[in-house]
Amino acid sequence: MKRNTLLYIYCLLGLLGCIKQEQESYNRQLILENVGNNIIVPQLNALQQEMSTLVKAAQAFETETTAENLQLVRNAWQAATLQWERCAFFNFGPIKMQETSLKIDFNPARTHIIESVLGDADITLNQAYMATLGAAAKGFPTIEFLLFDREKTLEQMLALFTTDAQAIRRKAYVRAAAQNIEVQVTAVAQEWANNGGNYLQTFIKNSQGGNDAVNTLANKMIETAEIVANTKLGAPLGVQLKDGTPQPEKTEAWRSKTSLAHLVANLDMMTMVFKGDSGDGFDDYLNALKASGSGQSLANSIVAHIAKTKEAVLAIQPTLYEAVSADQTQTKAAYALARELVVLIKVDMMNALGGIVTFNDNDGD
C-alpha cells in the first residue's frame, strides 16, 4: 500500500513537472506585446476620440439648444460610454493608479447631489469646480441622469434645457462633466503612450513571475465575468436577496435603456483579449499547454461559452430593466451562463495556466 502511494506521488510530481515545462516553453510576453500594442493603446485612443466628440456635441448643444443637438449629444454619450465599457477591462496600471474608473463611472450617480449642484447658483460649473466635485456627481452616470429619463420623450427632455428654471445650468453641467471625463481619459492615454509615460513598455516587460501582467490580464477576465454575472445581471434580478425581489433600478444605464449594449461591450472585450484579436492571446497559450475541457480544447470551450452568454444577453427583450420587472426567464438564463463562464475562467483556465487568482467578488458588488 505504501509502495503504491509513493508511486502515485512520483507520477503526480512528474505530471506537474511536465505541465510546468509546457508553461515555461510558451513565450508569455507575446500576449503582452499583442494586447498592449494592438488592443489596449488603440482602445484608449478610440475612447479619447469619442470623448472629443462628446465634448464638442455638449458645447454645440449649449450654444444651440435644439432637439437635433440634444439627440446628437445623447448619441455621443452612448458611443463614449460603450467605448469606456471596453476600456474598463484595463482597470490596472494608470487607470487604477489614477482612480479613473471611480472618477468617471461611479454607479449609481447620487441624484440628490446632482440636484443640489444644479440648484446652487453660486457654483460655477467649470473645470476648476468639477475637479473638486465628488465622483458620485460627475462622470458618465451623471451625464446620463441629466440627458435621459426613460419616461420622457425627447421633446419633454428638451424642455428641461430650454424653459426649465435650471435649463442653463443643466446644459453647463453636461458640458463640464464631459470635459472632466475627457481630462481623465487623456491623462490615462498619455501614461500608456510611448511619447508620454510609456507604461506600455512597463506592461510588456512584466512577463515573468507568478503575479505578472499576464496574470493581471487573466484576473481581469475573472473580474469582468464576475461583474457581468453578479453586478449587471444578478443584482437587478435580486439573486442576492432572500426573497429574490427584482431590483430594476440596479440595472446599469437603465435611464438610457442601454444596459444590454454595455453587457455586450464587456463580453466583446473579453473575447478580444482572450483571442488576442488577430495576434497572440490566451487561446494560444492554452493550446500550447494542450489544455482541454468538455471534450474539446479549453480555449474553444471558453470562446464558445462567451459567445453563448452574449447570445443569451441579446435575447433579453425589450430592455434589461423591463425584463427583470416582468418575465425574468431569459435574464435568468443569461445569468446562469455568466456564472458558468466565471467557473470556466476562474477555475479551469487559471488552473491550466498555473495562475494566481487575485480578484474575488464574494458579495457580488
H or E stretch including 278? none
The per-residue pLDDT for 12 is: 46
The per-residue pLDDT for 361 is: 62
Q: What percent of the chain has pLDDT over 90?
A: 86
Q: Confirm if 322 and 297 have CB atoms less than 8 A apart.
A: no
The beta strand positions in 39-191, using DSSP E, are: none
Answer yes or no: is pLDDT of 363 > 60: no
Q: Confirm if 336 and 343 have CB atoms less than 8 A apart.
A: no
* Mean pLDDT in residue range 10-18: 45
Instruction: Lowest mean pLDDT of 35-49, 232-246, 256-270, name the range.
Output: 232-246
The per-residue pLDDT for 208 is: 76
Answer yes or no: is pLDDT of 86 > 90: yes
Answer yes or no: is pLDDT of 211 > 90: no
Q: Confirm if 299 and 283 have CB atoms less than 8 A apart.
A: yes
Q: Count CA atoms closer than 13 A to 324's CA, side-chain side.
A: 26
Structural domains of the chain sorted by starting position, each given as residue range(s) with its CATH number in brackets:
30-201 (1.20.1420.20), 211-353 (1.20.1420.20)
Instruction: Give burial (CB, 10 Å; 0-12/13-18/19+) of 11.
Output: exposed
The beta strand positions in 106-221, using DSSP E, are: none
Mean of pLDDT over the chain: 92
Confidence of residue 9 (pLDDT cuts 50, 70, 90): very low
* Mean pLDDT in residue range 284-298: 92
Cell numbers at 301, concatenated: 470551450
Answer yes or no: is pLDDT of 174 > 70: yes
The per-residue pLDDT for 18 is: 45
* Mean pLDDT in residue range 254-262: 97
